[in-house]
Amino acid sequence: MSQATATPTAPADRGQCRTIDPISKIDHIDGYWQQRVIAEMNDYQFKVAKLDGDFVWHKHSDTDETFIVLEGELHIDFRGAPSGDGTIVLHAGHMAVVPKGVEHRPRAQTEVKLLLIEPHGVVNTGDGEATERTVELDQWV
Amino acid sequence: MSQATATPTAPADRGQCRTIDPISKIDHIDGYWQQRVIAEMNDYQFKVAKLDGDFVWHKHSDTDETFIVLEGELHIDFRGAPSGDGTIVLHAGHMAVVPKGVEHRPRAQTEVKLLLIEPHGVVNTGDGEATERTVELDQWV
């Protein structure tokens, strides 16, 4: 893909003052776990992705992160959470906040459409080295 | 209402690491435009409310604010937005970010169930004096 289609720059309005349909945005994304920005609120970004299969265990040491499920059934495994190790299940319309520093692994047994909210600059694979699953920041759709 | 039921304090986990169903939270709120906190992400709060009728024109000088419609049809009127004056319409599943400093008025011709995202401390009626429509901060549901 050309740079222009792979990493469209932020619109001048940062996705503000307009109606956004997150699910319809996902229809324009190729591939799973390819999160794309759809709007900004202060220094936070709203991102969408479609998910399938297991993601990698990771954590974000400096920030909480919010998951809102638009379609499908998302499992999030935790290690070392205040509530202990475990798994939560989110169906369409459900949300969960993962606290900073808590290891987590999102899993989708069938396709999930997801809305993510987190500060600008958060890397999808968490702290540490980039991997083949790391998505470049600030790609809009 | 007693203080205990009107302003339950934040849970120790701040609504994190668990599955939250925002729509079912709204079933526990009496009255329209009575926003209640359901979770926190860093210094931001997720709030839910059911809406009916016109709200007041207001603005938040220091912060953007995000609306996600869970049920119903929400109109948001703008004055002095970068895109000019106007109205956007959001149906279930749609979202919009209102930029800081932009006057806006949410309107619901029939009942709307809403998820709001904004920093802690934002007053629902905006800058200036509290009015009869101002909701006390940090009431959880």
Residue-wise DSSP of B48-107: EEEEEEE---B--TT--EEEEEEESEEEEEEEEETTEEEEEEEETT-EEEEPTT-EEEEE
* pLDDT of amino acid B6: 58
DSSP label at B116?
Answer: E
Partner B contacted by A43 (CB < 8 A): no
* pLDDT of amino acid A1: 38
Task: Among B16, B39, B99, select the one facing A17 at the smallest CB separation.
Answer: B99
Mean per-residue pLDDT, A109-131: 96
Contacts of A45 in chain B (CB under 8 A): none
**A vs B: CB pairs below 8 A:** 119
Give the chain B residue nearest A13 (alpha carbons).
B82
CA distance A2 to chain B (A): 29
Q: CB count, 10 Å around CB of A102?
A: 19
Cross-chain Cβ contact A42/B119 below 8 Å: yes
pTM: 0.95
From the list B138, B139, B118, B136, the residue with the least C-alpha distance to B59 is B118
Confidence of residue A3 (pLDDT cuts 50, 70, 90): very low
The span from the first CA to the last CA of chain B, in angstroms, equals 14
Which of A97, A100, A103, A105 should be substituted to probe chain B, the one whose Cβ sees the most B Cβ atoms within 10 Å?
A97
Cβ-contact B51, B114 below 8 angstroms: yes
Partner A contacted by B85 (CB < 8 A): no
Give the chain A residue nearest B113 (alpha carbons).
A93
Per residue in A66-86, pLDDT (tens digit) is: 999 999 999 999 998 998 999
* pLDDT of amino acid B135: 96
- pLDDT (tens digit, 0 to 9) for every residue of chain B, 141 residues total? 333 345 788 999 999 999 999 999 999 999 999 999 999 999 999 999 999 999 999 999 999 999 999 999 999 999 989 989 999 999 999 999 999 999 999 999 999 999 999 999 999 999 989 999 999 999 999
Cross-chain Cβ contact B64/A41 below 8 Å: yes
Give the chain A residue nearest B22 (alpha carbons).
A94
Cross-chain Cβ contact A98/B16 below 8 Å: yes
Identify the helix (H) or strand (E) that includes residue A3: helix A3-6
ipTM, two decimals? 0.94
Partner A contacted by B89 (CB < 8 A): yes
Q: CB count, 10 Å around CB of A24?
A: 12
Residue A53 bridge partners (DSSP): A108
* pLDDT of amino acid A116: 98
* pLDDT of amino acid A71: 98
Confidence of residue A6 (pLDDT cuts 50, 70, 90): low
B74-to-A93, B8, B107, B122 alpha-carbon distances in Å: 17, 28, 6, 20
Q: What's the token pair of residue A75?
A: 């499992």
Confidence of residue A5 (pLDDT cuts 50, 70, 90): very low
Residues A64 and B42: their CA atoms lie apart, in Å, by 6
SS (H, E, C) A42-90: CCEEEEEEEEEEECCCECCCCCCEEEEEEECEEEEEEEEECCEEEEEEE
Angle at CA of residue A93, ends A91 and A98, nearest 5° = 75
Mean per-residue pLDDT, A106-126: 97
CA distance B67 to chain A (A): 10
pLDDT at A2 over 70: no
Residues A94 and B52: their CA atoms lie apart, in Å, by 23
Contacts of B121 in chain A (CB under 8 A): none
Q: Which of A7-11, A55-59, B21-25 has the lowest mean pLDDT?
A: A7-11
- The conformational region for residue A26 under phi > 0 = left, psi -120 to 50 = alpha, else beta, is alpha
Partner A contacted by B7 (CB < 8 A): no
